[in-house]
Structure 1
Amino acid sequence: MSITFYHAPMSTSSITEAVLAELSLDYQGVEINIDAGDTRTEAFLKLNPNGRVPVIVHDGVIIWESVAITLYLGETFGTEKALFPESGPGRGEAMKWVVWSNLNLADAAGKLAAELPPSAPGAVQQGSQDFVEIEQRRPDALPKARQTLHHCFEILNDALAARQFLLNDYSLVDTHMFVLVAWTLFMELDLSAFPHVEAWFARCAQRPVLAAMMSEEQ
């Protein structure tokens, strides 16, 4: 088995880093500097024509998009480690939350990050494709982005009202979601407004992998 992992600090590749760590998988890491334009080089675009991280190459097969990577690693390595459900309804629920986390929660957080001042914690890096030039920003975009993100957290809070974790037992779905929620905390989101999410976040933070990641970010 051979895994090469292309990643960048303060990006969604942190999700893949956490998933790989939870699965105790060995890999060769290649750090990419987004601000320096590494994702726009000819060599990198051959790996991912979208010019984004994360990317993994597993036994010669290139896989991009953090959602696809989490689901792939979960199906390939997570089931036997009780970190991802077997094929069936439980797998469907896992797929639902992982996809939702990126299509809704991460999208809302990304739009907020793009409107924050470049020097603000959690803001989009200027070398990123998602960076919005200051003169192109609209006055109403920032409050609208906060409102959309708030709604996403209401959905997540309701889902965790009667559960310790998203699939009842801890899984890679929680790993994936945790990293995205942790990202929003850099944007000064107050989790106390979402008590079930706050309690879930605290439980997840007790996982050695996630605890170590949080300590590195502080």
Structure 2
Amino acid sequence: MAGILSNLRNTVITGFVLALALFVFYIYGAYSSAGHVGDALGSTAFWAFIVRWAHVLCGIMWIGLLYYFNFVQIPNMPNIPDEQKPAVGKVIAPAALWWFRWGAMGTIAFGIILAALNGYLVDAYLLGFTDNGASTIIGIGMWLGTIMWFNVWFVIWPNQKVALGIVDAPADDKPKAARTAMLFSRTNTMLSVPMLFAMVINQNAF
């Protein structure tokens, strides 16, 4: 077990193997007695489930790192001695930002595919105007998620590259870029609350 947990790659692979085992247990328990395993695996509902799982996994990575930046890293940077700050700016932050932006990309991509598989992609982005309001709430959540994704890739990341010295820029530009990245990161933190509310309530109508 220590050999698995001491290596991140092995840990992640083992997690997927356990999930696969759980899936096999579920699918055969639910469908084997009726002889419909093949039908289940070839259905749109099955692929929608796989895409939803990937969407949620990517979303956890994205929003988890968003909350890490806003609840842990940014508030505590002033408490870190100046001689130690380069370790954060040169090592921790770039690695976190890589997973952050690609988590955002995976979330939006799998979300769009999921909406298409379930047949509400256009209705949702039109905020329910074409289906008598049935897709309004999920549409609001999708628009908020899309705005947040745009902020990550076209505002936060470009400004973080300047602030962290990943790209060449005048020294005077770095504080402004850092503040812009922080403000849009805070914007995404704010938008994440109603976005997640819209996503969850859409799955739990009452």
**Shorter-chain TM-score: which interval?**
0.3 to 0.5
TM-score by length of structure 1 reads 0.34
Larger Rg: 2
TM-score scaled by structure 2?
A: 0.36
Larger strand share, 1 or 2: 1
Q: Which structure is higher in helix share? A: 2
